[in-house]
Structure 1
């Protein structure tokens, strides 16, 4: 069956990398289209995602789907091999719960803690710790959130698995460590150690340079005290 599958994304975005990882896990061939999301969004992106005007967008046989978690559900229901959601309704509901927790609570708290001004950092770091502590309980001693194989929550938590350590290196703010969160830290190693995940990650040095430049910009107003 000649299917047209396209992914509109950005090389450094954990959200578009989620979509690519899910397609790769299922062995679905796709065309990747890089978007300049900072200043020059393509007419196609605006056409396919007129509501949010954001990446990622999955285009399947001419039909656009936006929002990474929605796209992941669509992928799982469309291509049945290598399911990323559990079959059991309760387990599926729990997977949805944790993916929502990652997006609504965890990522914003981690991002805020890493980039916050020094006078706000302590409180922001405490909140980030609470989120990581809660997320660690979802692992419950398992290799992956999905059990022995990578599933929906693992894919959704890719920011914690890879991006967070680079942000920590760029900003000097330590949030996730083997001492504080041993199970979650071990999970990050397992996750990025998987070949299929490794092949789908952006270049670490390129991402680190990007975050270091961004951190320098963020810190500049704090060091410039002249009026």
Structure 2
């Protein structure tokens, strides 16, 4: 299927990790190239000249940017366990929730942990409101994709793995067993999944990384 390269970071990016998970699910062999985001390589600028950000997947010399788009591309190109549902309606809904997570959840949860004062309180409210929708969506299911990890689970990677670590560092606990029992259960299932354990970055490394910010 041609040469595959992944332009990524140093193990700290949930967006790069989305792509890593998709590639591993499909059993795709690839070359991982670490990018210095402060000193961007000509290869990165060539294949993502608009946003100049990681991740970028290079397949047969052609670059694809934006993690959610890359994951969908991987699902379409390579055989293996499906990432997106086959049913058109379910596929549309998976895209909807992935977009919702990117636009409504990630920024609000990040700001809720890292901002202060009135901005933090406002961000907390926004984050809690958005998370309530995910709480309802995951109810009665092991993963957003059903019995197996799917497109929405990969999109929610930041919430499932990064947010608990950042919350511990900053002492801002947005998702608890009391206020979001369904999400809490999903987060535990996600983090303890044997397949994902091999791909998710070290908790200790992330903890030290965020402590230094």
How far apart, in 2, do the equivalents of 1:190 and 1:96 lie? 22
Q: Match for residue 28 of structure 1?
A: 28
Q: What's the offset of the Cα at 1:120? A: 2.7
* 5+ residue gaps, structure 2: none
The answer as to whether partners of 1:5 and 1:59 remain within 8 angstroms in 2 is: yes
Q: Give me the whole-angstrom Cα distance separating, in 1, the residues matched to 2:160 and 2:44.
A: 28
Kindly report which structure 2 residues correspond to 1:4-43, keeping only aligned pairs within 5 A, or say none: 4-10=3-9, 11-37=11-37, 39-43=38-42
Counterpart in 1 of 2:196?
197
TM-score normalised over the length of structure 2: 0.97
Larger-gyration structure (1/2) = 1
Structure-1 separation of matches of 2:36 and 2:201 = 16
With structure 1 as the length reference, what TM-score do the two structures score? Answer: 0.91
1:119: Cα distance to partner? 3.3
Counterpart in 2 of 1:50?
49
Match of 1:143 in 2: 142
Q: Unpaired runs of 5+ in structure 1?
A: 215-227
Aligned residues: 212
Asked whether the 8 Å contact 1:21–1:196 carries over to 2, the reply is no
Determine the C-alpha separation between the residues in 1 that align with 2:51 and 2:119: 30
Q: Which residue of 2 aligns with 1:156?
A: 155
Alpha-carbon distance in structure 2 between the residues aligned to 1:158 and 1:98: 13
What is the distance in 2 between the residues matched to 1:5 and 1:20? Answer: 12
Partner residue in 1 for 2:110: 111
| Structural RMSD (CA) | 1.0
Alpha-carbon distance in structure 1 between the residues aligned to 2:28 and 2:208 = 32
1:40 Cα shift?
A: 1.1
Match of 1:182 in 2: 181
Range 69-78 or range 192-201, more displaced: 192-201
| Higher mean C-alpha deviation, range 113-122 or range 63-72 | 113-122
Give 1:80 shift: 2.7
Aligned to 1:133: 132
**CA distance in 1 between partners of 2:184 and 2:199 (Å):** 20
The residue number in structure 2 matching 1:122 is 121
**Aligned to 2:50, what secondary structure does the other structure show?**
coil
Q: Which runs of 4+ in 1 moved over 6 A?
A: none
Matches within 5 A, 1:161-176: 161-176=160-175
Shift of residue 58 of structure 1? Answer: 0.3
8 Å CA contact 1:15–1:68 kept in 2: the answer is yes
